Amino acid sequence: MNTLKGRGNLLDEERQGEPIVIESAGTGKKLYLESYGCAMNFSDSEIVASILTKDGYETTTNLEEADLVLLNTCSIRDKAEQTVRKRLKELNIVKKKSPELKIGVLGCMAERVREKFFEEEKLVDLVVGPDAYRDLPNLVGELDDGRKAVNVILSKEETYHNIEPVRLGSNGVSAFVSITRGCDNMCTFCVVPFTRGRERSRDPQTIVDEALKLYSDGYKEVTLLGQNVDSYLWYGGGLKKDFEKSSSLAQASSIRFANLLSLVALAVPKMRIRFSTSNPQDMADEVLYAIAEHKNICNYIHLPVQSGSSRILKAMNRGHNREEYLDLIQRIRRIIPNCGISQDMIAGFSGETEDDHYETLSLMELVKYNFGYMYFYSERPNTFAARKLEDDVPLEIKKRRLSEIIDSQRRHSKEILSKCIDKTFEVLVEGASKKSEDDLFGRTSENTVIVFPKMNFKPGDFVNVKVQRATSATLIGESV
């Protein structure tokens, strides 16, 4: 996976597959849970942990003492699936020594591959899709009776709105709150509509309540999650709580994403609010004005573009062209000065020429993103592109174009961060620096990482830090 690190729509790469730990008073059965892929998968793992904790499971970081191993999987690229298959083969070696061990696959790969896990690869006992987690206790019961178990039925209603997530591997500072599930956009390269189903929005009252609960538990930042947060739409009457300056919203018959942002910002004014991911064609100016109005909504937008070529964007069915995307960038810059913007970019999509590639590089030069997530095109089964478009760009050309895109992003990141030297930023401390226990790291409102001496500060503190120097990915400074 080629990426510059940051918190956008994906988790940091080094977190992929780490065992997840929660505390539970259970029946003695042990659960070992690994999560791969996007932030939505990580959020789903918190739902799974909540359901199985109530069913009596305790968690463990020791694989050898586990009764049940679950991998929450990703299908967005072939490499992600191959990583999971390799891990499953490793787990089956463990199972030969402990035949009672049960192995399950959750999430997008479970939805896409389904019974093939049983019939062809014989690697798992349990397969559960993203909308079937409530059924886990029953399915695990089938395993106890000696049967294989599967539920990959997609739902048009499931949002897990009434399940309180167990915060997994939490730093106690930042947390995810899911606001939508599924996606209706049908980009030709993307498998998400087939693995996560149609788009549906969660009751705004439950979102506000979850944010309030996080605040009462001491969290300082919440990220509202969805495959496409900007298409959030809830019909169904007003909210129970009438917040200052928002009585009209509390009584509204419909709530859109800009309204939801304002409601959450007003409900927890001392918490930072972030969101991910946005689709350019759905981002309304009202969202930008909401960010500008509320100081606790961070000045940062993850805005995937995928290509700088209008011809390729049309082939991708992205719903916007180059000019429309650049116009949105200009509106963001005007309404939210100094807003951090990150991207997703795909190199070597079907039919991409050198001219198309250079249009991507030129768009990056115009926008100058803070950071990005960059990949070469990986054809996914059953997508429109796999069925109708030829994957005709040779791998070596994909890799070369990707390398040029990454080099361009590193240059822009370094340029942007260099301009921060001698400036002071409010930083939310997240934890110890990876390189030194004497240093802490945190993020600015624009989602930039800053490292500074620990002194007497601790995770969860807001600290003003003056920048002294910059790399292509990180700022280094001192508290003031």
Round to whole Å and give the CA distance between 102 and 63. Answer: 12
pLDDT at 312: 98
- The three-point CA angle 107-449-477 to 5° equals 165
Fold exhibited by the domain 171-298: Transcription Regulator spoIIAA (3.30.750)
Residue 227: burial class (beta carbons within 10 Å; 0-12, 13-18, 19+) = buried
Name the E strands within 53-199. Answer: 58-59, 68-73, 102-106, 126-128, 149-151, 174-178, 180-181
In contact, 175 and 222? CB cutoff 8 Å: yes
pLDDT at 19: 46
Cα–Cα separations (whole angstroms), residue 115 to 120, 474, 478: 8, 44, 55
pLDDT at 422: 98
Cα–Cα separations (whole angstroms), residue 161 to 18, 52, 164, 207: 26, 17, 8, 8
pLDDT at 241: 54
DSSP 103-135: EEEEHHHHHHHTTHIIIII---SEEE-TT-GGG
In contact, 145 and 154? CB cutoff 8 Å: no
Per-residue pLDDT tens digits of the chain, which is 480 residues long: 333 323 333 333 334 555 444 444 456 788 888 999 888 888 998 999 899 989 999 877 788 888 999 999 988 888 888 999 999 999 999 999 888 999 999 999 988 887 788 776 678 999 999 999 999 999 999 988 888 899 999 999 999 998 988 887 778 999 999 999 999 999 999 999 999 999 999 999 999 999 999 999 999 999 999 999 999 999 865 566 544 445 556 566 789 999 999 999 999 999 999 999 999 999 999 999 999 999 999 999 999 999 999 999 999 999 999 999 999 999 999 999 999 999 999 999 999 999 999 999 999 999 999 999 999 999 998 899 999 999 999 999 999 999 999 999 999 999 999 999 999 999 999 999 989 989 999 999 999 999 999 999 999 999 999 999 999 899 999 999
Round to whole Å and give the CA distance between 87 and 82. Answer: 9
For 424-479, give the CATH class.
Answer: mainly beta
pLDDT at 27: 60
CATH of domain 13-151: 3.40.50.12160
pLDDT at 282: 95
The dihedrals phi and psi of 247, each to the nearest 5 degrees, come to -60, -35
For 300-418, give the CATH class.
Answer: alpha beta
pLDDT at 13: 37
The dihedrals phi and psi of 342, each to the nearest 5 degrees, come to -120, 165
* Total length of the chain: 480
Pick from 238, 239, 242, 276: nearest CA to 257: 276
pLDDT at 17: 55
In contact, 459 and 173? CB cutoff 8 Å: yes
Round to whole Å and give the CA distance between 13 and 39. Answer: 11
- The three-point CA angle 122-124-125 to 5° equals 110
Fold identical between 13-151 and 424-479?
Answer: no
Listed by start position, the domains of the chain span: 13-151, 171-298, 300-418, 424-479
Question: Residue 268 gets which letter from DSSP?
Answer: S
pLDDT at 21: 40
Note if the pTM is more than 0.85. Answer: yes
